[in-house]
């Protein structure tokens, strides 16, 4: 498989490092707006002969299509901010190549709308766009599909529950992922789906509950946040409700609320002494690069899918999860835990597509595919997962 990787930040570097020596990878092109960053990653990987480095503008549809065609790639993997997803998706279509991303453009129930509206065109061409194939969304959705296939006869609720016990030395506020996507998720209204209501919005950070995260992370308050799983899961998995809650911590929430109150979450430029400046660009410039936080981080991060329902006539409550320890991530790959955790899912997806184990056309989410071969490969990628029973009566509702 030949892959055009757009974006070589922390996650992009992780993808390149993990995929580097896989026998199914014929070539990977490291493409980034900042050519020096792509070159840096290329050199860190030992200048592999089947890698190439290119400068690319994620907003330039025609330029991306030409780049993909020049290398004859089989797939464009979008590892940049979701604000560029529509343009990259369109470039892949014009280049007659498959597409994969890890986050959806749009807000609320309209997340992914551009892609879904164009699904018939992709089907006509026989092309596949696999959207939301990161960690969450991505692996979290595959956990949900596995639970539906093997663990339940009837599902009541699928709730993504993420939490972390991570500390970053020297910083009181240091997001471990793109600040642009983080701000968007945390300032937009949160999204819930119910079978009898469809999609509806609630206040961000609402409906707090105390969730018992495993492997030493412990109980953590989680709150409603806008996320792609709520849009994707109901399209392929039958259930009564889908939610997403994240353990952000009170300090993190206070910072986000303050940024929004001051208008610093806005991407639209404002006039500052005769210069047009986007407030969020200023915030991003003042914060540390997530790709370089690894040496200062410690602790674990957990992404999981909590599923409740019935099996053989009995009520059941199961949590499928993956925990990544930052020290282990740095020792093995030199990449911080959140970036590495996000990177492995797409690489496993690439392998399954390259080998023809996953096949499809049109616009599909991870839930559209058989979860078994994905979970079978996770341990081989140093990416173990666990399935545990949780007494749902112990989940304390705080609001």
Contacts of residue 303, defined as CB under 8 A and 6 or more positions apart, other chains included, come to 135, 136, 139, 140, 160, 162, 321, 322, 341
212-249 burial by CB neighbour count: b if 16+ within 10 A, else e?
bbbeebeebbbbbbbbbbbbbbbebbebbbbbbbbbbe
Spell out, as residue ranges, where the chain has pLDDT lower than 70. 399
Residue 190 near residue 183 (C-beta atoms within 8 A): no
Give all domains of the chain, ordered by start, each with its CATH number. 2-101 (3.40.50.720), 139-338+382-397 (3.30.360.10)
Q: Quote the pLDDT of residue 318.
A: 98
Nearest to 399 by CA among 189, 206, 219, 241: 206
Residue 61: what pLDDT?
98
- In this predicted structure, what is the pLDDT of residue 399? 67
Q: Cα-atom radius of gyration of the chain, to the nearest Å?
A: 20
Distance CA 243, CA 191 (A): 7
313: buried, middle or exposed (CB in 10 Å: 19+, 13-18, 0-12)? exposed
pLDDT tens-digit readout, 162-194: 998 888 888 888 877 777 878 888 888 999 999
Distances (CA, A) of 30 to 17, 67, 69, 80: 11, 11, 15, 12
pTM > 0.75:
yes
Beta bridge partners of residue 314, listed in sequence order: 311
What gap in Å lies between CA 10 and CA 275, rounded to an integer? 30
Q: Cα–Cα distance between 160 and 238 in angstroms, integer?
A: 16
- DSSP strand pairing (2-6 vs 75-78): parallel
């Amino acid at each position: 498989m030949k892959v055009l990787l757009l974006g070589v930040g922390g996650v992009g570097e992780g993808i390149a490092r993990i995929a580097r020596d896989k026998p199914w990878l014929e070539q990977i092109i490291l493409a980034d707006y900042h050519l020096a960053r792509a070159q840096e990653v290329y050199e860190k990987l030992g200048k592999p002969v089947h890698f190439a480095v290119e400068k690319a503008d994620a907003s330039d549809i025609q330029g991306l299509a030409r780049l993909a065609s020049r290398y004859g790639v089989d797939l464009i993997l979008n590892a940049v901010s979701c604000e560029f997803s529509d343009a990259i998706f369109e470039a892949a279509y014009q280049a007659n190549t498959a597409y994969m991303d890890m986050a959806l453009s749009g807000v609320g129930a309209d997340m992914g709308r551009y892609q879904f509206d164009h699904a018939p065109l992709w089907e006509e061409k026989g092309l596949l766009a696999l959207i939301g194939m990161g960690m969450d969304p991505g692996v979290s959705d595959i956990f949900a599909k596995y639970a539906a296939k093997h663990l339940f006869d009837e599902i009541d609720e699928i709730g993504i529950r993420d939490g972390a016990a991570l500390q970053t030395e020297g910083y009181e506020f240091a997001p471990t992922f793109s600040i642009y996507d983080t701000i968007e998720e945390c300032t937009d209204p949160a999204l819930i789906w119910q079978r009898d209501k469809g999609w509806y919005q609630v206040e961000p950070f609402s409906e707090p509950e105390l969730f018992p995260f495993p492997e030493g992370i412990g109980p953590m308050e989680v709150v409603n946040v806008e996320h792609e799983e709520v849009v994707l899961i109901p399209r392929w998995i039958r259930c009564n409700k889908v939610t997403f809650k994240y353990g952000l911590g009170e300090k993190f929430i206070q910072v986000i609320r303050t940024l929004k109150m001051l208008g610093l979450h806005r991407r639209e430029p404002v006039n500052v002494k005769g210069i047009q400046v986007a407030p969020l660009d200023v915030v991003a410039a003042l914060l540390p690069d997530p790709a370089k936080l690894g040496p200062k981080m410690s602790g674990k991060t957990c992404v999981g899918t909590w599923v409740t329902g019935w099996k053989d006539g009995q009520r059941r409550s199961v949590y499928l999860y993956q925990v990544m320890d930052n020290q282990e991530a740095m020792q093995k790959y030199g990449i911080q835990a959140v970036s590495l955790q996000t990177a492995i899912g797409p690489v496993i997806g690439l392998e399954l597509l390259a080998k023809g184990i996953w096949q499809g056309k049109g616009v599909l989410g991870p839930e559209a595919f058989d979860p078994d071969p994905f979970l079978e490969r996770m341990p081989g990628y140093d990416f173990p997962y666990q399935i545990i029973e949780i007494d749902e009566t112990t989940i304390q509702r705080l609001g």
